[in-house]
Amino acid sequence: MNSIWTEGIAMPQFETLRGDVKTDVLIIGGGMAGILCAHFLQEQGVDYLLAEGRRICAQITKNTTAKITSQHGLIYHKLVKGAGPELARMYLEANEKAGREYERLCKKIDCDFETKTAYVYSLDNRKKLEKEKDALAKIGFDAKLLETTALPFPVAGAIGFENQAQFHPLKFISQIARNLKIYENTFVKELSEDTAVTENGGRIHFRKLIFATHFPIDNKHGMYFMKMYQRRSYVIALEGAGQVDGMYVDEAKDGMSFRNYGKFLLVGGGGHRTGKSGGGFRELRGFADKYYPSAAERCCWATQDCMTLDKVPYIGLYSKHMPGCFVSTGFNKWGMTSSMAAAMILTDLVMEKENPYAKVFCPSRSIIKPQLFCNGCEAIVNLLTISKKRCPHLGCALKWNPAERSWDCPCHGSRFDENGVCLDNPANGNL
């Protein structure tokens, strides 16, 4: 079960760290966010080191649908209402700036970068779309409200953002990471104030630290285990399904997404909270049988996303009790754009420069949100559930996932294979 991005790609390989080293900035995590942080720090002449526990981009990044867009569902109506027009405008600007930076870098890299219009559609609620368009107008963005789309089913309408993009993430990474200071198979198992201890016994002494590990691995500070949960989602690549002329996502929580890559149509959906049941591949294949009966499935894959309390990522100082430590997490299914925004913001913060967008993503903002109560209830229920398999992260009961043959944690999203080997963090070890 491999994504379409892994076919025919020769990723650069890096040595495993052995022994002790010193660096000004340690980046833990070699996904898109960590790689981009390393790229920008190297451009600025900062002494850094990136430690990846396995191979770079072998986890979440390789399973993305690779959309670069500032349109993240119907988020702007919520932001204007909850945070105010100014912060909503800054959120938009930060993501638009991230998109332009990708465009600049991709001019030098052959990674199938294409400018596309991004659409969020509704099957049955046009009023939601009208509210979103009004919110966007308040912050000075001219979005289009369409009556119909190129999708094979009727919709109530769609909001369109022009000049967004899509690309091949591993073609991009294979070039941009080539000359970076990276150590692979260098799993950080223990942290102190200024030292990281690796699984191989080596020590990395650092002055500043960036957590780019998808879900943060430090539980002592920041309350990330209460501020986030994780969702599984699924993708199938169909050959012979035609072109949809853009990137699409349903405004509904469990809706579907679409984009083309060459001759393939990528259909995403079937999502659910990790450790719970959901439509999965069965839902996607049922959709394909109905709307694209002559298409053939080329490949399929699944991914996992960290979901925050207010749908805005946590980018910035890890905790007020951890000076010099920074984090990028909680990308809410928009990891490609958010990774770039995070890398640009964190590079400034590490270099002690002001960044105008940092306050939008500040991890220490208020956590008094309805989702906090839901996360707390889920944790309590699973902590009290009797189960032979317990997650080593915080002790929650694990649930068997028959579709992917894994043990999944409903509390925080850690996953383990049949033999107990850790597949997804925040757990930092096997069962």
Q: How far is CA 395 from CA 93, 163, 381, 382, in A?
A: 40, 46, 12, 9
With residue 2 as reference, give the H or E element that holds it.
none
Q: In CATH, what number does 370-421 get?
A: 2.102.10.10
**Digit-coded pLDDT (tens) for 84-126:** 999 999 999 999 999 999 999 999 999 999 999 999 999 999 9
Domain spanning 113-166+229-305, CATH architecture: 2-Layer Sandwich (3.30)
Give the pairing type, strands 182-183 and 21-28: unpaired
Q: How many CB atoms lie within 10 A of CB 210?
A: 29
Whole-angstrom Cα distance, residue 407 to residue 391? Answer: 9
Given a cut of 80, whether residue 1 has pLDDT beyond it is: no
Whole-angstrom Cα distance, residue 350 to residue 318? Answer: 12
Residues of the chain with CATH 3.50.50.60: 4-64+171-226+311-360
Q: Which amino acid is at 158?
A: A
Phi and psi angles of residue 419, each rounded to the nearest 5 degrees, phi first? -95, 5
Q: How far is CA 307 from CA 73, 111, 186, 253, in A?
A: 13, 28, 27, 12
Whole-angstrom Cα distance, residue 361 to residue 349? Answer: 12
Q: Using an 8 Å Cβ cutoff, are 160 and 148 in contact?
A: no
Q: Using an 8 Å Cβ cutoff, are 76 and 341 in contact?
A: no
Residues of the chain with CATH 2.102.10.10: 370-421
Q: Which amino acid is at 250?
A: D
Q: Which amino acid is at 344?
A: M
**Digit-coded pLDDT (tens) for 12-56:** 999 999 999 999 999 999 999 999 999 999 999 999 999 999 999
Helix (H, G, I), strand (E, B) or coil at 134: helix
Q: Using an 8 Å Cβ cutoff, are 30 and 185 in contact?
A: no
For residue 84, the 8-state DSSP code is -
Structure tokens at 355: 């960044």
Specify whether the backbone of 287 is left (phi greater than 0), alpha (psi in -120 to 50) or beta.
Answer: alpha
For residue 17, the 8-state DSSP code is P
**Digit-coded pLDDT (tens) for 353-411:** 999 999 999 999 988 888 998 988 888 888 888 878 899 898 899 999 888 889 999 99
Phi and psi angles of residue 389, each rounded to the nearest 5 degrees, phi first? -100, 120
**Digit-coded pLDDT (tens) for 204-218:** 999 999 999 999 988
Given a cut of 80, whether residue 137 has pLDDT beyond it is: yes
The percent helix, strand, coil of the chain (3-state, each to 5) is 30, 30, 45
**Digit-coded pLDDT (tens) for 62-73:** 999 999 999 999
Whole-angstrom Cα distance, residue 190 to residue 204? Answer: 11
Q: Using an 8 Å Cβ cutoff, are 427 and 216 in contact?
A: no
Q: Of 275, 226, 221, 232, which is closest to residue 377 (Cα–Cα)?
A: 226
Q: Which residues pair with 257 in a beta bridge?
A: 249, 268
Whole-angstrom Cα distance, residue 183 to residue 31? Answer: 13
Does CATH place domain 4-64+171-226+311-360 in 3.50.50.60? yes
